Amino acid sequence: MRPARDYASTRFSPLDQITPQNVRQLAVKSTFSTGVLHGHEAAPIVVHNTMYIVTPWPNYVYALDLSKDGAPVKWKYEPKPLSAAQGVACCDVVNRGVVYADGAIFLNTLDNRTIALDATSGKEKWVTKLGDVNKGETITMAPLVVKDKVLVGNSGGELGVRGWLTALDSRTGTIAWRAYSTGPDKDVLIGPRFKPFYASDRGGDLGIHTWPADAWRNGGGTVWGWISYDPQLNLVYYGTSNPGPWNHEQRPGDNKWTAGVFARDADTGEAVWFYQMSPHDLWDYDGVNEPVLADLAIGGRTRKVMMRADRNGYVYVIDRTNGEVLSADPFVPITSTKGIDLKSGRPIENEELEPALGKVMRNVCPASPGGKDWQPTAYSTHTGLYYIPSNNLCMDYEGVEANYIAGTPFVGANVRMYAGPGGNRGEFIAWDPVARKKVWSIKENFPVWSGVAVTVSDVAFYGTMDGWFKAVNAKTGEELWKSKVGSGIVGQPVTYKGPDGKQYVAILAGVGGWSGAIVAGGLDPRDATAALGFVNAMPDLPQATTSGGMLYIFGLP
Amino acid sequence: MTGFWRTTTCLALMSELSLFAAGCQREVRPFQELAVASARTQNQSPFQKNAYGTAEGKRLFDQYNCSGCHAHGGGGMGPALMDDKWIYGSEPANIFESIVEGRPNGMPAWRNKIPDQQVWELVAYVQSMIGQESIDVLPSRSDHMRYSTPENARRAQTPVQTHTP
């Protein structure tokens, strides 16, 4: 139904046919070439014996009939997005998935349209244009449908875009409300219900006053990540991106409401609370990572929490009723900050590393893609563990002058990244959110840029950028099975019950995204700053994999 | 001859025949001949063989956010410019056209946003990225974090027209 499986974004499946004992028998049951190169970050979704997949630009949508041998195409939809949109997509022309609700498939295109398709026929029901590529806006995120609203956010935090979350009527496509991430309270939908936990988030029009004059208009805070929903509290949760430009000297202040997480009323969009992980972000630590909702026994009582493995390198456990941070612990090596002060909720910055114009700060960890980027985590209520696909990257960073020119990058930093301590660029981590510690982990050569799916039978699936699709024991971390696919994996694994009653696992291979830009864009590693510095950490990726989108469906004999 | 070997030869000559070094590939600065308006039709950059114009192009490459997409030649949102693959042609007129008119896959049109003279400086710098200039004109080490071999120490490459990045 949706990439995260449930509204709590657990990516935890109750299916149990595939077990640690029989997972070695998994074999390819079907494959399908998407006909598109570039990074395939989307999750396939399965509804009524049909699998729906969306490709990177040009955002083809395929409906595959799982009830027939070989899963033939039922229909294909081509939204024909503007070619020019490719030039304003910061980190490859990706799309993170479609969503199903009430007989319709909802799709976001790179050129800022949200489209509803009839799930049976693939015919357009409505199309709504939400943004403008000439201002640098794109849409890459997967929408979420809550009751009668489709929630969509924009991308473009590297292009001086002003971020927003928009709710559309799922039947007609008309805009119900839009909540900006910067600017006056009326634009941010901050009103009498807004009760942030920490004092620094209280006050009038902070979305203006925590910026130099008018800087909020190009201040980022885009909403390109994941949205979760708690039906009991009727709140939606999502994070906002880095402020723009990256060069922090051009935007003194806390830069509300960027690099933080909002809780909003699901019907009206009114803000209920906000917590800023990275006030006055220095390092491109977007706050867009998925809020994973769970009820945990903490301090002798059950707390309704949100877990977030943030770009800044900390796993946060936050009370989702009010935005209080219960704990924040590092899951990757961190030099940029010295911890989170739980009294104020603010990170303790490492002042020695504070970037300045023309000065090179060295060994800043985590690097800009963070301890974890968009690639979603999973939470198993069976093991009680939180599974984090992570990056182990550090960087050298030099602040340079950023000029705002609409539709072009607004960054102001020279960055070169490299492997963090240990030399492994990624790690698949099982984290205990109650005991606040790593339980086990698997070191990976490349950043783990794929999502995770975990089952009640304690099998966790993820993929690597050199094209291995892996199953591991969710309790112990023992590698149980792996299969080599045609291209590196930056997608999201899913598991589902097929029309024959059997459990299957599916993944889109197709390397790309920010981490895979060196392959997807044919970039040149002789320039350490290519792809905002990521290429410097990945010069060997072109030897390890080639591009090409391909769906793989695995099953037991 | 590649930029690297030209440097070596020149340095060798300078050290061994220092008396004659002054004649070693001297930069030409045709200040009076900057026929900017007509340069496009002649398929010549008025800043060819002009170190000042090329260095200005390097500065403008950051100022106009070219480096935001193309990084410092390695590419990012836009294609790499320091390799031998050229999608829209590598002649000065092709590069001028790419900047002024834009290209369909995301290169914005800079017509009326960048004065022609500065576009030609950018053209000169873009050509210098693959060593398409004489050694005395190519920019040297940047004043920034070291991100690549300086332009004047790169091996010159022969551009190839190709549609794949």
Among A403, A397, A398, residue whose Cα is nearest residue A417:
A397
Query: In the prediction, which pLDDT does B131 show?
Result: 83
Query: In the prediction, which pLDDT does B135 show?
Result: 87
Cα–Cα distance for residue pair B111/A194, rounded to 1 Å: 46
pLDDT band at A354 (very low <50, low <70, confident <90, very high): very high
Query: In the prediction, which pLDDT does B6 show?
Result: 42
- Chain B residues in contact with A532 by the CB 8 A cut-off are 71, 76
Provide CB contacts within 8 A for B29, sequence distance 6+: B50, B51, B52
Span A530-549, mean pLDDT?
Answer: 98
Span A93-99, mean pLDDT?
Answer: 98
Enclosing domain of residue A379: 24-555
Query: In the prediction, which pLDDT does B164 show?
Result: 63
Span A204-223, mean pLDDT?
Answer: 98
Shortest alpha-carbon distance between residue A287 and chain B (Å): 22
Query: In the prediction, which pLDDT does B46 show?
Result: 86
Q: What is the pLDDT of residues A249-277, one digit of tens each?
A: 999 999 999 999 999 999 999 999 999 99
Vertex A462: Cα angle to A15 and A334 (nearest 5) = 125
Q: Check CB contact of A409 with chain B, cutoff 8 Å.
A: yes
Number of domains in chain A: 1
- Sorted by where each begins, the domain ranges of chain B are 1-7+42-142
Interface of B with A in 122-141 (CB under 8 A): none
Shortest alpha-carbon distance between residue B131 and chain A (Å): 14
Query: In the prediction, which pLDDT does B24 show?
Result: 55
User: Which string of DSSP letters, residue by residue, matches A434-477?
Assistant: TTTEEEEEEEESS---S--EEETTSEEEEE-TTSEEEEEETTT-
Residue A70 lies in a domain: yes
Span A483-492, mean pLDDT?
Answer: 98
Residue A3 lies in a domain: no
Query: In the prediction, which pLDDT does B14 show?
Result: 45
Residue A19 lies in a domain: no
* Mean per-residue pLDDT of chain A: 98
Cβ A299 vs Cβ A220: under 8 Å = no
Structure tokens at A425: 């660029």
Structure tokens at A139: 């849409």
Q: Check CB contact of A284 with chain B, cutoff 8 Å.
A: no
Residues of A with catalytic annotation? 158, 242, 284
Shortest alpha-carbon distance between residue B10 and chain A (Å): 25
Query: In the prediction, which pLDDT does B162 show?
Result: 81
Q: Check CB contact of B148 with chain A, cutoff 8 Å.
A: yes
Residue A13 lies in a domain: no
Cα–Cα distance for residue pair B162/B149, rounded to 1 Å: 25
Mean pLDDT for back-to-back runs of 10 residues, chain B (165 residues): 42 46 56 56 78 95 97 96 93 94 95 94 94 87 90 89 71
Query: In the prediction, which pLDDT does B110 show?
Result: 97
The answer to whether A84 contacts B74, with C-beta atoms less than 8 Å apart, is no
Residue A2 lies in a domain: no
Query: In the prediction, which pLDDT does B44 show?
Result: 74
Cβ A531 vs Cβ B76: under 8 Å = yes
Cβ A445 vs Cβ A424: under 8 Å = yes
Query: In the prediction, which pLDDT does B19 show?
Result: 44
Q: Is the pLDDT of residue A437 over 60?
A: yes
Return the CATH fold of B1-7+42-142.
Cytochrome Bc1 Complex; Chain D, domain 2 (1.10.760)
Q: Is the pLDDT of residue A95 over 90?
A: yes
Provide CB contacts within 8 A for A394, sequence distance 6+: A333, A335, A363, A364, A365, A366, A367, A417, A418, A419, A420, A421
CATH number at residue A432: 2.140.10.10
In this structure, is the dihedral angle defined by the CA atoms of residues A89, A90, A94 and A99, taken in order, positive or negative? Answer: negative
Query: In the prediction, which pLDDT does A507 show?
Result: 98
Query: In the prediction, which pLDDT does A58 show?
Result: 98
Residue A297 lies in a domain: yes
Residue A311 lies in a domain: yes
Query: In the prediction, which pLDDT does A511 show?
Result: 98
Residue A231 lies in a domain: yes
- Chain B residues in contact with A90 by the CB 8 A cut-off are 77
Cβ B107 vs Cβ B131: under 8 Å = no
Instruction: Provide ipTM, 2 decimals.
Output: 0.94
Best of A90, A94, A357, A527 to substitute, by most chain B Cβ atoms within 10 angstroms, is: A527
Query: In the prediction, which pLDDT does A235 show?
Result: 98
